[in-house]
Every structure is written in structure tokens, then in C-alpha cells.
């Protein structure tokens, strides 16, 4: 059998190999590196099914006191690998845009690094979902964040990208400072950084100092998951970053952030102040994300505010501490968000990123229009899609925990979502287009988009495979 730490090592080695080949094999077609990275990650993904989960122990020593290979950790390693594979497929489609920002350079300049960096991000995400010690959480988070610093500002000749990179760098550094300060307070109050030993330590420690530390950590994680009032960076960074990077930030970073949030909050959930704090953050995030999305005309910016809104629904699951509901929602979010971004990347190269640029898409490319339709109705929460069942499980968990106010606000904000998501559907099917030429799609992208559509509908009808995967 394979041990869990070998998975991250394999991804890191693959990333370094891609960088070395890119540096020393100057004449090679850089798209080959993307296909090599996808193949390598697919092999690691298959290897995850041969890893035997090991339950965490409070008596663990050495590396295993920092790292866990429980069922949730292995599931989200698979999640990170699958997300990265799909993002790399998007990067192949996005290669001409990257090339356009390196005028006069050789063909496919920059594509090697653009492909290698997500591998290091993926390794960081895999470490992050296994981290059970604040020190290891910090190290894994920095590996993810530093990779994203470069990816967000990769097409640096674009002023919007440069602005996005600067904002992400400054605000991410600030959130890291809050994280370290929070860890210092928690360690000072309890003498522990291990999350499993922290539960008993919090009960016997100064709860005020530990709670203050938890609030600082929550501020840092609130930045990663784009919760209000720590969401200020999201719209500009999502709009300015290269579109595949925006998709990666939206799905991979958010999912890992929620896994860490669940693990970190577990020792503090017995404190009544924790529940009240998450309740307020969830409420504000739901209201702000949905209302701010209503007037948007740029699709990437709309999806940025939509990402904030979905963080609000996920925070309801965190408040109810329903791991199954959160996991299913994150899987649904992966499918429908990556589906939307995959279509956006192809269409934006022909027309643009504004919602008006999607006018008449059904006539120019019925396949892409139908794919975007599936993505939008799932994000809105139409029955028989994964997005609907994701919201259903979250609201069901809230009803069981008697969180009536959050359910009422959640249902109202879902109504707001129907308005701004179906604006895109109206543009594609009811508006007339200025351009009439067909939009070309390569075979790999067509397969990936088809798989995402099928999975979105399939999980909306039969969600059991996700719950079985968590039990295995």
C-alpha cells in the first residue's frame, strides 16, 4: 500500500521536473509540459485510492503529530488533484493569451512556469488538508500563497493583472500576520499547537486569551475563504488575474480554507462566543455577496461576488458543524464553477468577459451555451443539479440546529442568485449577437466540459458516491 505523504512528494517532484525541463529544453513545445503535468497528476490521483486512511491520535509523535491521513484528508487530496488537472486543461486553452503578453519572445514563452506553479500550489493544498498543527498549517498555507502571488500577477504587462497581484500580495501578507499573531496567543494560553490536544487544553486554559487567538486565526482564514468583512480583495483579484488562476483561487483555495477552518474551530466550538461570531459572519457574507452580484456586468466580477455568496452558504454548514454537507457543497461548487470558467476562457478569447459578450452564444456554439446553462442553473440552485442538493443539505443541517434566521436569509438570497445567474442565460439564448462565426473548441476541453456537465447533473440526482467516498 501507498503512504499518504508520498502523494505530496510525488507532486512536488513532478513540479520540479517540469521546471527543469522548461529551463533546459528550450526547443520543446511547452504544451507538452502541460500534458505531462496532467498525466502525472492523474497517476497520483489514481494512487490516492490505494492509500489506507489512518485515524489521528492525540499520542502521535514526530511528523504524525503535524500530519494526518484520515478519510477527510485523503478525500480533499483527491479534490485538490482533480481541481489542478482541470485548471491545467484550462491553461492549455489560455496559452495564446499568456503568449500575447510576451511580445517578441519565442512561441509558448512562459507556459512552462505557468504549468509548473499550479503543481506546487496543489502540493500545498494537499499538505493543508492534512495539517493538524498550527505550525504545519502556517507552512502549508505559505506554500499555497506564495505560488498564488506569482500566478495572479503572471501576465504582468497587463495593468489589471499587476493591480490584482499587488492587492493579493499586500492583503494576503496582512492575513498571514493575523494568523501568526493568533497562533502566538493560542500557544501562550494553552501551551499547545496540535489541534487534537488543543480541545482539552482550551477547557483548562484562560478562555479569553484563547478566544482572542481564535478570532485572529479566523480573520486570516476569512481572507482565504472570502468571508465578509475580509473579502475586499476578491472582485479586483478575480477580474485581474489570468482566468485559469481565478478558477483555481475560487475552488482550490476556498476548499482547503474550509477544511482548515473545520479542524481549527473544533476545539473552540464549545465556547458560545464562537457560535455567535460565525453566525454574524455567515449572515453578512450571504447578504453582501448576493446583493453585490446583482448589478455586475462583467462575468468574472459576477463570479467573484458569487464566490463570496457561496462562502456564506458554506459558513452555515460550519456553524452547524456538518462535515458531510460542507463536503458535498464543495464538490458541487468545484463542478459548476470550473464548468463556468472553462466556457468563459474559450468565449472570452473570441469576444470578451462582459455578460453582453455572451449575446447569441447559443447560435455560435450550442455546446458552450448549453455547458454555461448547466453551470449557471446549478450555481443558482435549480433542482436536479448538484448546486440544488448542496444548498438543500446545508439548509437541512441548519434546520436541525434550529438556525431559522440563517435559513430564511439563505432562501431569500438564493432568489437573488436566480436573477444574476439567469442574466447570462438570457444573453446566450434571447439576445442577438454581433458576431456569427463559430467558436472552435479543442478535443480535450470538449471532453473536460462534457464530464463536468454530466457530473453536475448526475450528483444532482444521485449524491451517494460523495458520501460513500467519505466513509471509505
Q: Cell numbers 482564514 correspond to what residue?
A: 221
% of the chain at pLDDT higher than 90: 44
Query: Per the domain annotation, does 248 fall within a domain?
Result: no
Cα separation, 80 vs 70, in Å, equals 16
Q: Provide φ and ψ at 463, rounded to 5°.
A: -85, -5
Query: Per the domain annotation, does 341 fall within a domain?
Result: yes
Higher per-residue confidence, 210 vs 319? 319
Query: Per the domain annotation, does 78 fall within a domain?
Result: no
Burial class (CB in 10 A: 0-12, 13-18, 19+), 57: exposed
pTM confidence score: 0.93
**Where is average pLDDT lowest: 358-362, 397-401, 421-425?**
358-362
Q: Supply 60's cell numbers.
A: 502521535
Query: Per the domain annotation, does 211 fall within a domain?
Result: no
Cα separation, 166 vs 135, in Å, equals 26
Query: Which whole number is the average pLDDT over 207-222?
Result: 87
Higher per-residue confidence, 310 vs 114? 310
Query: Per the domain annotation, does 278 fall within a domain?
Result: yes
Query: Per the domain annotation, does 227 fall within a domain?
Result: no
Domain that holds residue 455: 271-472
Higher per-residue confidence, 190 vs 77? 77
3-state DSSP of the chain: CECCHHHHHHHHHHHHHHHHHHHHCCCCCCHHHHHHHHHHHHHHHHHHHHECCECCCCCCCHHHHCECECHHHHHHHHHHHHHHHHHHHHHHHHHHHHHHCCCCCCCCCCHHHHHHHHHHHHHHHHHHHHECEHHHHHHHHHHHHHHHHHHHCCCCCCHHHHHHHHHHHHHHHHHHHHHHHHHHHHHHHHCCCEHHHHHHHHHHCCHHHHHHHHHHHHHHHHHHHCCCCCCCCHHHHHHHCCHHHHHHHHHHHHHHHHHHHHHHHHHHCCCHHHHHHHHHHHHHHHHHHHHHHCCCCEHHHHHHHHHHHHHHHHHHHHHHCCHHHHHHHHHHHHHHHHHHHHHHHHHHCCCCCEHHHHCCHHHHCHHHHHHHHHHHHHHHCCCCCHHHHHHHHHHHHHHHCCCHHHHHHHHHHHHHHHHHHHHHHHHHHHCCCCCCCCCCCCHHHHHHHHHHHHHHHHHHHCCHHHHHHHHC
Going by pLDDT thresholds of 50, 70 and 90, the confidence category of residue 468 is: confident
Query: Per the domain annotation, does 387 fall within a domain?
Result: yes
Q: Supply 407's cell numbers.
A: 435559513
Residue 41 has pLDDT above 90, yes or no: yes
Q: Within 13 Å and on the Cβ side, how many CA atoms surround 284?
A: 13
Q: pLDDT for 86-109, tens place per residue? A: 999 998 888 888 877 776 556 556
Please give the distance of CA 260 from its chain centroid, rounded to a whole number.
13
The domain total for the chain is 1
Q: pLDDT for 286-297, tens place per residue? A: 999 999 999 998
Helix 111-130 × helix 31-47 angle, to 10°: 20
Going by pLDDT thresholds of 50, 70 and 90, the confidence category of residue 205 is: low
CB 120 within 8 A of CB 9: no
Cα separation, 294 vs 299, in Å, equals 11
Query: Per the domain annotation, does 59 fall within a domain?
Result: no
Cα separation, 238 vs 62, in Å, equals 39
Q: Supply 187's cell numbers.
A: 500557544
**Where is average pLDDT lowest: 149-163, 192-206, 236-250, 361-375?**
192-206
Amino acid at each position: 500500500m501507498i503512504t499518504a505523504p508520498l502523494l505530496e512528494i510525488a507532486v512536488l517532484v513532478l513540479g520540479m521536473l517540469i521546471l527543469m525541463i522548461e529551463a533546459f529544453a528550450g526547443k520543446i513545445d511547452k504544451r507538452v509540459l502541460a500534458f505531462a503535468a496532467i498525466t502525472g497528476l492523474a497517476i497520483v490521483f489514481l494512487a490516492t485510492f490505494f492509500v489506507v486512511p489512518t485515524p489521528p491520535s492525540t499520542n502521535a509523535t514526530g511528523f504524525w503529530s503535524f500530519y494526518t491521513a484520515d478519510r477527510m484528508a485523503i478525500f480533499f487530496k483527491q479534490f485538490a488533484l482533480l481541481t489542478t488537472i482541470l485548471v491545467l486543461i484550462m491553461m492549455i486553452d489560455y496559452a495564446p493569451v499568456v503568449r500575447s503578453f510576451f511580445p517578441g519572445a519565442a512561441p509558448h514563452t512562459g507556459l512552462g512556469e505557468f504549468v509548473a506553479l499550479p503543481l506546487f500550489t496543489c502540493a500545498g493544498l494537499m499538505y493543508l488538508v492534512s495539517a493538524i498543527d498550527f505550525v504545519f498549517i502556517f507552512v502549508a498555507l505559505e506554500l499555497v500563497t506564495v505560488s498564488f502571488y506569482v500566478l495572479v500577477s503572471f501576465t504582468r504587462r497587463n495593468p489589471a493583472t499587476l493591480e490584482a497581484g499587488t492587492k493579493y500580495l499586500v492583503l494576503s501578507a496582512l492575513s498571514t500576520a493575523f494568523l501568526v499573531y493568533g497562533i502566538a496567543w493560542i500557544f501562550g494560553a494553552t501551551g499547545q499547537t496540535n489541534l487534537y490536544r488543543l480541545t482539552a487544553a482550551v477547557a483548562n486554559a484562560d478562555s479569553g486569551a484563547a478566544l482572542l487567538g481564535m478570532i485572529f486565526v479566523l480573520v486570516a482564514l476569512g481572507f482565504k475563504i472570502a468571508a465578509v468583512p475580509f473579502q475586499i480583495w476578491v472582485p479586483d483579484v478575480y477580474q485581474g488575474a489570468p482566468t485559469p488562476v481565478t478558477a483555481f483561487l475560487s475552488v482550490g483555495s476556498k476548499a482547503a480554507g474550509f477544511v482548515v477552518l473545520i479542524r481549527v474551530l473544533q476545539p473552540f466550538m464549545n465556547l458560545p462566543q464562537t457560535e455567535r461570531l460565525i453566525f454574524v459572519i455567515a449572515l453578512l457574507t450571504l447578504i453582501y455577496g448576493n446583493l453585490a452580484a446583482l448589478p455586475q456586468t462583467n462575468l468574472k466580477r459576477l463570479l467573484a461576488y458569487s464566490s463570496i455568496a457561496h462562502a456564506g452558504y458554506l459558513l452555515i454548514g460550519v456553524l452547524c458543524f456538518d462535515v458531510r454537507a460542507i463536503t458535498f457543497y464543495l464538490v458541487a461548487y468545484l463542478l459548476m464553477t470550473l464548468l463556468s470558467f472553462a466556457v468563459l476562457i474559450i468565449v472570452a478569447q473570441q469576444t470578451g468577459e462582459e455578460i453582453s459578450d455572451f449575446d447569441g452564444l447559443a447560435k455560435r456554439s450550442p455546446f458552450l451555451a448549453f455547458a454555461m446553462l448547466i453551470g449557471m442553473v446549478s450555481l443558482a440552485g435549480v433542482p436536479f443539479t448538484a448546486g440544488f442538493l448542496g444548498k438543500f443539505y446545508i439548509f437541512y443541517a441548519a434546520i436541525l440546529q434550529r438556525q431559522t434566521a440563517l435559513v430564511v436569509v439563505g432562501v431569500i438570497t438564493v432568489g437573488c442568485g436566480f436573477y444574476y445567474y439567469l442574466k447570462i442565460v438570457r444573453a446566450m439564448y434571447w439576445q442577438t449577437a454581433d458576431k456569427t462565426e463559430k467558436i472552435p473548441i479543442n478535443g480535450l476541453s470538449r471532453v473536460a466540459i462534457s464530464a463536468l456537465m454530466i457530473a453536475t447533473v448526475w450528483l444532482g440526482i444521485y449524491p451517494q458516491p460523495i458520501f460513500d467516498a467519505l466513509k471509505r
